[in-house]
Amino acid sequence: SEMLQACDTVGDVEAVASQAASEVLPGCAGALYLPAAGGMRLDRAAAWGGDAPPSIGESRCWAMKRGRPHACG
């Protein structure tokens, strides 16, 4: 978490998240999305282990639909 807190740019977040996730979750695919300006979509900041869409609209994100954190699995 210290490395993420030290990030100044989205590029920094991408590098830290991708590296950490690959080490902590070997063989798993995932992505980190950050809110876009206006809050109506999430933009991919990092991905690991597979393809992930470049952005997710409000209609595809349960956390955004519900206005609170959402976890599955």
What are phi and psi for residue 44, nearest 5 degrees? -65, 125
Question: Of 28, 32, 38, 73, whose CA–CA distance to 58 is shortest?
Answer: 38
The answer to whether the Cα torsion of 56, 31, 9, 61 is positive or negative is positive
Q: Give the global pTM.
A: 0.67
Question: Does residue 9 sit in helix, strand or coil?
Answer: coil
* CA distance from start to end of the chain: 23
Report the chain's C-alpha Rg in angstroms. Answer: 13
What are the 10-residue block averages of pLDDT along the chain, 73 residues in total? 85 85 86 84 86 88 86 77
**What pLDDT sits at residue 6?**
92
